[in-house]
Amino acid sequence: MAMYMRYLGRLRCGACGLRFRVFSDGKRCFTSKAVTQPDVLMERKLQETCRRKTFAQEQADRLEQAHRSILIKCPQKVNKPQLLKSLAKHGNIAHHHFFGSYETMLLLQFERRDGILSVKQSCSMPRPGKAFPFPARSRVILMTRHNEPTVGKADLPDRRSPENERFQDLLEMLRHHSNINGQLEELVQHMQLTEEDIRLRFLVSSLLQDLCTAILPSIQIQPFGSSVNLFGRVGCDLDMFLDIGSLNFERNSKRVQQDSPLEFQVKMFKSERQATQTILSLVGKLLRHISPSFDSIQEVLKARCPVLRFCHSPSNLNCDLTASNRIALYMSETLKAFAQIDARVRPLVFAIRCWARAQNLTSSVSGTWITNFSLTLLVLFFLQQRSPSVIPTISDLRKHADRRDHRVLDGMNCTIVSDLSKIAPSNNEQSVEDLLHGFFDFYGSFPFQKKSINLRTGQMQRRSDNFPMEIINPFEENLNVSKNVNVRQLVHFVELSQNASWKLEKHHQSSSNQSWGLMTLLQHWSNQQGSVTDGTSLHPRPKAERFNDLYQSLWSEKNGNSEEMQQTRNSSPQTDGDRQVKGQTE
Ligand code: CTP
Ligand code: MG
């Protein structure tokens, strides 16, 4: 008997960004055509069919791609087709991407690594003049003026819009949607890292690895954090992890005979921490003295998690390099798993992170304010608390793990399932709009003074410390992820959550001449950037009064410390001098 499949329409996968056609038997096939109004709920139900590579496979493939890539700084008016043609003589080009506003940059990936060797062989060293070159041969290559293929003004490179320009574009696009679910989807599409952004991040990681092999030949460096966990926003920092553990691999390898009496003579350190600090400090010196691409180098080695901070100037990426921090890599994998398990997770996390940025709750510098990582955990916990829950607990993810997924680091169990098809889709049918509203209601009245947040169990539990807010680190349960948040910032968060809930209720419908829905949540940002808003204050009560009430209910009951209230009242993310660094607060 003949079987007929009905074509239902086109959707885009929230996790991987690929477009696909949907048929009545639930099957999907991929398409390149754009989708205008994706239905997030329907997408969620179909998502399990597109679960592909594991986190480890994806990282390995991306790194391999990056090792076959180079970065070329070109003059602004370069003739792109001619340049590509001349580069193709060195080997087949697998991928290319031009970017940059002040100068044109080309990210070029060859099919094979010998393409890079060939390009390097064709490069000369700058001639010594007043300055003398350090003769390093990196994969960042400069196109000099005398051999540049040029064109006229019409072919100037695309300008990447800076943050506020991108944001203004977003507000305009949100206006054209007829419901908040559509606005949320637009937000993700507009703010998420593009494929090119991700490639560039892996390339920077690979370039850094090249440099570090000067001191540690078998070192591996890989990105983690928002660059890889599907919550990254254009312009977010690039977190990288220098895997010292991989250097010990040989000790356990079968290739080395266990009973061999030979071992390397090496310098010994008092602790792994001291070894980590020394390695990061050496990398800092390499960057400072050898590479022209990395600048603003800052060593923050006394932090709980020592970190080297710098900027990669060709890509304009702010980078954080840590070592012995494998647990953070496992955390990135876990966050990515949550993003892939249910399609509502990403729009919600993006909305909350953008709302918090717009309201000055978060900042690009560290301090006493809530971090994006903490905010993400708050969203995930809220989704675990729904009835029925939208996402599983970390214990649930552990239950589905098999032997290969098992990993314990310094006694901490970081195991989660890598095959996400084992996780059954949620029975919760709430829309993302409902969940957004629910998030603000939930945290607008959360008993922070009594309860802490535990994502492993998916339960609130009795507080175990005296900090204003306690989010238990899912893998290191003796650590509080939000230990840095002071009372003022917590009160501010709760107050703004209440305010956001109120705004969503009042302005939930499209109106021709006013901001509505998601736009009202991002308004503070647009005010700061000088854009047009409806200008009305949306909260019905005076600010000082509201602050006092919340302060009383959240904190004074517990500690009665009015001095802190006075002191913290005067601080804000942009001005507070009490800057802390990643990990220092735990
Ligand atoms: N991390 C962690 N424990 C912390 C802080 C961070 O495990 N207390 C890990 C998380 O995996 C986090 C990553 O380190 O994603 C990077 O931290 P950070 O840069 O602060 O957060 P991102 O998620 O990258 O967010 P952003 O876009 O603000 O950089
Ligand atoms: Mg980060």
Identify which has the larger pLDDT, 539 or 535: 539
pLDDT tens string 72-129: 999 888 899 999 999 999 999 999 999 987 789 999 999 999 999 999 999 988 887 7
pLDDT at 557: 47
Q: For residues 431 and 420, what is the distance between their CA atoms, to the nearest angstrom?
A: 22
Q: For residues 469 and 486, what is the distance between their CA atoms, to the nearest angstrom?
A: 8
- Using CA atoms in the order 512, 517, 522, 523, what is the torsion angle rounded to 10 degrees? 40
Angle, to 10 degrees, between the axis of helix 487-506 and the axis of helix 432-444?
A: 140
pLDDT at 546: 57
- Please give the single-letter amino acid code of residue 151: V
How far does residue 119's CA lie from ligand 1's centre (Å)? 37
Identify which has the larger pLDDT, 410 or 229: 229
pLDDT tens string 466-509: 999 999 999 999 999 999 999 999 999 999 999 999 999 887 77
How far does residue 225's CA lie from ligand 1's centre (Å)? 5
Q: What is the pTM of this model?
A: 0.81
Question: How far apart are the two ends of the chain, measured CA to CA in Å?
Answer: 65
pLDDT at 274: 92
pLDDT at 541: 52
pLDDT tens string 25-64: 444 444 443 333 444 444 454 454 445 799 999 999 999 9
Q: For residues 122 and 303, what is the distance between their CA atoms, to the nearest angstrom?
A: 44
pLDDT tens string 160-186: 445 667 777 888 889 888 899 999 999
Confidence of residue 353 (pLDDT cuts 50, 70, 90): very high
User: Can you list the positions of beta strands (E) in 67-171?
Assistant: 69-74, 93-99, 104-110, 140-142
SS3 354: helix
pLDDT at 576: 35
Confidence of residue 553 (pLDDT cuts 50, 70, 90): low
pLDDT at 6: 47
230 CB within 6 A, ligand 1: no
Select from 3.30.70.330, 3.90.1300.10, 2.30.30.40, 3.40.50.300 the CATH code of 68-123+137-146.
Answer: 3.30.70.330
How far does residue 38's CA lie from ligand 2's centre (Å)? 29
Ligand lying closest to the C-alpha of residue 328:
1
Please state the domain extents for the chain: 6-36, 68-123+137-146, 342-391+426-585
Query: Which phi and psi angles does 49 have, rounded to 5°?
Result: -75, -15
User: Can you list the positions of beta strands (E) in 328-450?
Assistant: 408-409, 412-413
Atom of ligand 1 nearest to the CA of 327: 7
pLDDT at 460: 97
Looking at every residue in the chain, the average pLDDT score rounds to 81
227 CB within 6 A, ligand 1: no
Ligand lying closest to the C-alpha of residue 235:
1
Q: For residues 226 and 205, what is the distance between their CA atoms, to the nearest angstrom?
A: 14
SS3 269: coil
239 pLDDT higher than 60: yes
Q: For residues 396 and 221, what is the distance between their CA atoms, to the nearest angstrom?
A: 30
- Which CATH code fits 342-391+426-585? 1.10.1410.10
476 CB within 6 A, ligand 1: no
239 CB within 6 A, ligand 1: yes
Q: For residues 411 and 392, what is the distance between their CA atoms, to the nearest angstrom?
A: 23
Average pLDDT over residues 271-294: 92
pLDDT at 146: 57
Atom of ligand 1 nearest to the CA of 226: 24
267 pLDDT higher than 70: yes
Q: How far is CA 304 from CA 64, 242, 273, 581, 583, in A?
A: 31, 16, 9, 9, 6
375 pLDDT higher than 90: yes
Average pLDDT over residues 378-407: 97
- Please give the single-letter amino acid code of residue 265: Q
**Whose C-alpha lies nearest to ligand 1, atom 28?**
372
Name residues whose C-beta falls within 8 Å of residue 80's C-beta, 6 or more positions apart in sequence.
Answer: 98, 151, 155
How far does residue 329's CA lie from ligand 1's centre (Å)? 9
pLDDT at 148: 53
How far does residue 582's CA lie from ligand 1's centre (Å)? 8
523 pLDDT higher than 80: no
Identify which has the larger pLDDT, 424 or 253: 424
Q: How far is CA 263 from CA 14, 167, 189, in A?
A: 50, 57, 53
How far does residue 230's CA lie from ligand 1's centre (Å)? 12
Identify which has the larger pLDDT, 296 or 145: 296
333 pLDDT higher than 70: yes
290 pLDDT higher than 60: yes
Atom of ligand 1 nearest to the CA of 331: 11
Q: For residues 108 and 73, what is the distance between their CA atoms, to the nearest angstrom?
A: 11
226 CB within 6 A, ligand 1: yes
Confidence of residue 413 (pLDDT cuts 50, 70, 90): very high
Q: For residues 340 and 416, what is the distance between their CA atoms, to the nearest angstrom?
A: 14
